Amino acid sequence: MKYVTGLHCIKCGKEYEADPERYLCDDCEDGILDVDYDYQKIMAEWSKEDLKANPDQRIWRFEPLLPIKPETEKPKLAVGDTPVYNSPVLAEEFGIKKLIIKDDGLNPTASLKDRASAMAVVKAQEADAKTVACSSTGNAASSLAGNIASMGGRMNAVIFVPDRAPAGKLAQLLIYGADVVSVKGSYEEAFYLSAEAIKKWGWYNRNAAINPYLVEGKKTVSLELAEQLEWEMPDWLVFSVGDGCTIAGAYKGLYDLKQIGFIDRIPRLLGVQAEGCAPITEAFRTGEELEVTAENTIADSIAVGKPRNWLKAVRAIRDSAGEMINVSDDQILAMMRNLGKKTGIFGEPAGVAGMAGLKKAAAEGIIKRDQSAAVVITGNGLKDVKNARRAAGNPIEVEPDLEKLTAIFVEQGVT
């Protein structure tokens, strides 16, 4: 960790050594930590040209800005290097100047969370831990299980899920060979059992909300985007927001790049929550402490009523002169179909919520007609076929008869 100078608490500022098992501030409740770098030294020793010449296309190409020891073995999955598309069609539809879409659902386990989980596998090794644990039924769990599996049997993932977890999500975890503990109880009970177990067996804790290193993995999404855009940043950068880690990580990446002079401005961040679960939007608007809310949305990956990283997220959005906005489930479902139809990108509900928010922000004049925006699709729609089916509408039904088909096509204007 050549350039890491330490950690600091985002609440009280207290500094800590960058120990891989240092998760939280000792003095503050919810005292989330942030990783500090020696930007002057990085500037002196690393350039855009060095980066360009690096043949490693995975997230590890940004090593000078990552809190890892160069010699630690990386999980083998090819995390990162997800495609960026320019969509003039949707830009025109939304009434903005330019629209860039980054499809992070094309990561190896099909979500942005691979970036954090790959980091967890590295940091666990640096903490001499063979087992990494996680309590989730979602993308954090599946990405952890996949990245652990890619170590070829030398490490182990233990995943705690409530017994209501859907069969499909269980399948991904079990295929990756994780020890999956199905807890007969609520999500809270699964979470607390995992916390006790982590403490008892000394496993490494893959919880992006409290583990400061995982956010550093997530920030590679904006490092990568900036490089792909040849360091020309858009006016706005849009993310869906659940527990706040992803948008906070994205901001951290942009902040880092500005400090070392790779970009000259940080885009304004637009954070998008689901109407049925928007505690961070509320805290952003009121300026008060976060109030826990219900979790009423189909966008399960951002359905977080008690987000741990809300303060980091709110500060990131404020510091970027950004905004927050909420979208309805219907707007999300409509956007799944619109995005698929106009771009060939199939996102899960939380994955396209950012895009639905961008459309709304443009309609409300938050994003202006002469402004550009980039949005990250955070997860693949194949992860949630049930909601895709709700979004997708119905096929044309017909007997096997060309005349009947012709009549329907004429009626519907297909040909």
Range in contact with a second copy (rule: CB under 8 A) among 264-272, 274-282, 292-300, 385-393? 385-393
For the chain, first and last CA: distance in Å? 61
149 near a second copy, rule: CB under 8 A: yes
Which of 148, 209, 362, 376 is in the footprint of a second copy by CB under 8 A? 148
187 near a second copy, rule: CB under 8 A: no
Which of 127, 123, 129, 180 lies closest to 154 in space, CA to CA?
A: 129
83 near a second copy, rule: CB under 8 A: yes
Beta strands 4-9; 15-16: pairing state:
antiparallel
The CB density around residue 186, as the number of other CB atoms within 10 Å, is 12
Contact 390, 118 (CB under 8 A): no
48 near a second copy, rule: CB under 8 A: no
Binders of a second copy among residues 294 to 313 (CB under 8 A) are: none
197 near a second copy, rule: CB under 8 A: yes
Residues contacting a second copy: total by CB under 8 A: 84
Which of 47, 131, 228, 328 is in the footprint of a second copy by CB under 8 A? 131
CB-based contacts of 408, cutoff 8 Å, min separation 6? 396, 398, 414
Which of 20, 64, 67, 75 is in the footprint of a second copy by CB under 8 A? 75
Range in contact with a second copy (rule: CB under 8 A) among 165-173, 207-215, 233-241, 290-298? 165-173
Nearer to a second copy, 289 or 399 (CB): 399
Which of 147, 159, 144 lies closest to 191 in space, CA to CA?
A: 159
Binders of a second copy among residues 316 to 355 (CB under 8 A) are: 336-337, 340-346
153 near a second copy, rule: CB under 8 A: yes
Question: Was 5 annotated as part of a binding site?
Answer: no
The residue behind tokens 């979470």 is 191
DSSP string, 272-329: EEETTB-HHHHHHHH-S---------S-GGG--SS-TTHHHHHHHHHHTT-EEEEE-H
Question: Was 139 annotated as part of a binding site?
Answer: yes
Contact 285, 324 (CB under 8 A): yes
CB-based contacts of 411, cutoff 8 Å, min separation 6? none
The phi and psi torsions of 111 (rounded to 5 degrees) equal: -155, 165
Report how far residue 206's alpha carbon sits from residue 204's, in angstroms, rounded to the nearest whole number: 6
Range in contact with a second copy (rule: CB under 8 A) among 81-89, 228-236, 256-264, 314-322? 81-89
Nearer to a second copy, 370 or 399 (CB): 399
175 near a second copy, rule: CB under 8 A: yes
Nearer to a second copy, 28 or 106 (CB): 106
- Least distance in angstroms from the C-beta of 50 to a second copy: 18
Nearer to a second copy, 117 or 297 (CB): 117
Which of 20, 108, 267, 279 is in the footprint of a second copy by CB under 8 A? 108
Range in contact with a second copy (rule: CB under 8 A) among 38-46, 72-80, 249-257, 259-267? 72-80
Q: Is the C-alpha dihedral spanning 381, 142, 107, 316 positive or negative?
A: positive
List binding-site positions for pyridoxal 5'-phosphate: 139, 378
